[in-house]
Amino acid sequence: MDENKIDELADVLGSTSRVAVLTGAGISAESGIPTFRGSQGLWRQFRAEELATPEAFERDPKLVWEWYDWRRKLIGEAEPNAGHRTLSAWQRRFPSLSLITQNIDGLHELAGSRDPLELHGNIWKTRCLRDGTVRENRDVPLSEVPPRCPDCGEWLRPHVVWFGEPLDSRVLDEAFRLCSSCQVMFVIGTSAVVHPAAALPLAAAEAGAVLVEVNPEPTPLTRAADFSFRAQSGGLLPLLDRKLGTRRAP
């Protein structure tokens, strides 16, 4: 790991007030949750088209819910790692830190991050197909598959964004606003291939922000990044935080 680049970034952050962070599945990899793409990716065992789409749910809601029930069990046993915890601590280090995540695992909130902007929803929430009511449901395993609405008995669906579905426009507008007004944007653990999330770092760079990528592998974002660390977030972020500790009060 390039210590000089980390020192250089710590110097930049020493005089930074507004930070935006976009995370992807990679920040949860060290918590034991498989990423989607790449050699260890989840999609190697499952095909996205068979599971994470409205058509798949229409065709076989039981199969889709069995997959989410399996992921909920896996995620339910996972703990936030040092990467999540560092980002939670940075809420006190920076006057303005906006955390935007593509992850639905809830680990940022579990690590103490307040109100992460969840672009793709949350695996612990369900939505009634009849009236759209969103509820928290942490049953592991689910009491019935597919689960039913306690009010009307209609089937519930996961409150997540599936392929081919639009993101909540208010959430997305807020994400672009935060990224376009930050001084430094971190992009951590994402392959940067799924839009519109992948466009957020470019909006930040266009607005003049310093772009910092943390990923063991290069991505389409790498060449646009001012700093690109070929590193795991669970190691890099605490190291950077220790360097920050000598430059600005927590």
- Contacting residues toward ligand APR, per CB under 6 A: 24-27, 29-30, 35-38, 41, 102, 120, 189-191, 194, 214-217, 219, 232-234
- Nearer of residues 126 and 215 to ligand APR, judged by Cβ: 215
Q: Token digits for 165?
A: 């579905």
Q: What distance in Å separates the CA atoms of residue 248 and residue 13, rounded to the nearest whole number?
A: 9
Residue 163 C-beta: closest distance to ligand APR, Å: 7
Contact 123, 158 (CB under 8 A): yes
Q: What distance in Å separates the CA atoms of residue 67 and residue 59, rounded to the nearest whole number?
A: 14
Q: Is 195 labeled as catalytic in the residue annotation? A: no
Residue 84 C-beta: closest distance to ligand APR, Å: 11
- Nearer of residues 150 and 218 to ligand APR, judged by Cβ: 218
- Please name the amino acid found at residue 250: P
Residue 152 C-beta: closest distance to ligand APR, Å: 28
- Nearer of residues 194 and 207 to ligand APR, judged by Cβ: 194
Q: Which of 84, 108, 120, 159 is catalytic?
A: 120
- CA-closest candidate to residue 199, choices 215, 216, 178, 176: 176
Q: What distance in Å separates the CA atoms of residue 68 and residue 163, rounded to the nearest whole number?
A: 15
Residues taking part in catalysis = 120
